Amino acid sequence: MKTDQDLQAGGFTESGAKRYKATATAYSDELFNRAVALGESDKAADAPREVTHDHVRSAAAALALRSQDKSDPVQVGCQVGEYVCAALAGVGGGKLEHSWGVLLFGLSLPLGVVLFVIRNSRSRTK
């Protein structure tokens, strides 16, 4: 772990250094727990636990994948809504000679665009 002097030399503010330390500690604890669990699952019943470099590497890879796969339920809902709106806009666009087709097309298209903007703006803030 980096020292306070290293973090200051790196340009970390006080709050940034505090967050860095908390994040590094939490990651280290989670890496330790996962590596130990993997070592435990690979050992024979009558043998002591051994945590190898493969266990540590697998634990780190699992943590990396987990951090990428965290999906926000709002983003998932927005994406599903986009698909529904696109389908409804297609149906409405095919029936523009009817008043319900114009209404369906006119409502679902802007709603789909709004959902798209919400989903993309939320993904950029993370």
Distance CA 32, CA 126 (A): 26
User: What count of other Cβ atoms lies within 10 Å of the Cβ of residue 51?
Assistant: 17
Contact 105, 87 (CB under 8 A): no
Distance CA 26, CA 18 (A): 12
Model confidence over 11-61: pLDDT tens digits?
A: 999 999 999 999 999 999 999 999 999 988 888 888 899 999 999 999 998
- Position 96 scores a pLDDT of 93
Arithmetic mean of pLDDT over the chain: 89
pLDDT higher than 60, residue 69: no
- Position 46 scores a pLDDT of 87
Rg (CA), the chain: 25
Q: Which residues contact 2 (CB under 8 A, 6 or more apart)?
A: 10, 20, 24
C-alpha to C-alpha distances, 71 to 29, 74, 77, 106, nearest whole angstrom: 23, 9, 10, 30
Confidence band for 63, pLDDT divided at 50, 70 and 90: confident
